[in-house]
């Protein structure tokens, strides 16, 4: 089973990704995690992306595809993938469509964890205020920038998948458990129809 997970910053995407990975034994492809790892290792990609990420902007599609391609090829014989934080703009989505077609990978679910903008802003404020914030891009200003980029660049990707009848919108406003249970309901009901 292959899943793409969408959610604005603060929507709880990372938490639900972890839940789905352990429930269905999926390989996670989180471009954000891969980039953070590169920054930590201070390798060539890490040096190229550090400032871009710290500003909340998107890194180049070229870098993203170099990371994705390696990860997909290494794990092709697995249970399935969960793409988390990718594709992030319409160009990435169109290139990704071709890529998975060539690799014979079917997308089963595109899940959008939908949270009201006002609630997102409140969560963002809280996240930024937490003393032990681990992420450099979790400051209030950068999170607001990330939200803007999400609305401009990433939302059109949702329409792309809606037009292919793959998009499922999940109410992301409940507790973590409620959101997980909404996701499972969608997966189970679709699996039964198949």
Q: Which residues bind ligand AMP (CB under 6 A)?
A: 31-32, 35, 52-53, 56-59, 64, 85-86, 88, 92, 137, 146
Nearer to ligand AMP, 148 or 164 (CB): 148
Q: Taking CB positions, which residue lies at the least distance from ligand AMP? A: 32
Minimum Å gap between C-beta 10 and ligand AMP is: 10
Nearer to ligand AMP, 141 or 190 (CB): 141
Nearer to ligand AMP, 59 or 170 (CB): 59
- How many other CB atoms are there within 10 angstroms of residue 103's CB atom? 11
Minimum Å gap between C-beta 23 and ligand AMP is: 21
Among 178, 120, 176, residue whose Cα is nearest residue 150: 120
Minimum Å gap between C-beta 60 and ligand AMP is: 7
Give the Cα separation of 31 and 188 in Å (integer): 27
Burial class for 18, CB neighbours closer than 10 Å (0-12, 13-18, 19+): middle
- How many other CB atoms are there within 10 angstroms of residue 74's CB atom? 10
Cβ contacts of 93 within 8 Å, gap of 6 or more: 87, 157, 160, 161
Minimum Å gap between C-beta 36 and ligand AMP is: 7
- In this structure, the chain runs to a length of 194
* Tokens 């969408």 found at: 6
Nearer to ligand AMP, 92 or 182 (CB): 92
How many distinct helices (H) and strands (E) make up the chain?
A: 9, 5
Q: What residues form DSSP beta bridges with 6?
A: 112
CB 152 within 8 A of CB 58: no
Nearer to ligand AMP, 52 or 90 (CB): 52
Minimum Å gap between C-beta 142 and ligand AMP is: 8
Minimum Å gap between C-beta 57 and ligand AMP is: 6
Nearer to ligand AMP, 66 or 188 (CB): 66
């Amino acid at each position: 089973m292959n899943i793409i997970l969408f959610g604005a910053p603060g929507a709880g995407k990372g938490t639900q990704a972890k839940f789905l990975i352990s429930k269905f034994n999926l390989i996670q492809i989180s471009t954000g995690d891969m980039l953070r790892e590169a920054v930590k290792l201070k390798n060539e990609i890490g040096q190229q992306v550090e400032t871009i990420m710290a500003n909340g902007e998107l890194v180049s599609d070229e870098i993203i595809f170099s990371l994705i391609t390696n990860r997909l090829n290494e794990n092709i014989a697995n249970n399935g993938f969960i793409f988390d934080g990718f594709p992030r703009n319409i160009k990435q989505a169109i290139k990704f469509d071709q890529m998975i077609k060539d690799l014979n990978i079917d997308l089963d679910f595109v899940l959008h964890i939908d949270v009201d903008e006002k609630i997102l802003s409140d969560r963002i404020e809280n996240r930024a205020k937490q003393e032990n914030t681990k992420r450099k891009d979790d400051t209030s200003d950068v999170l607001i920038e990330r939200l803007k980029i999400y609305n401009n660049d990433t939302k059109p990707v949702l329409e792309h998948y809606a037009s292919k009848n793959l998009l499922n919108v999940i109410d992301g406003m409940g507790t973590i458990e409620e959101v997980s249970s909404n996701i499972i309901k969608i997966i189970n009901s679709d699996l039964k129809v198949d």
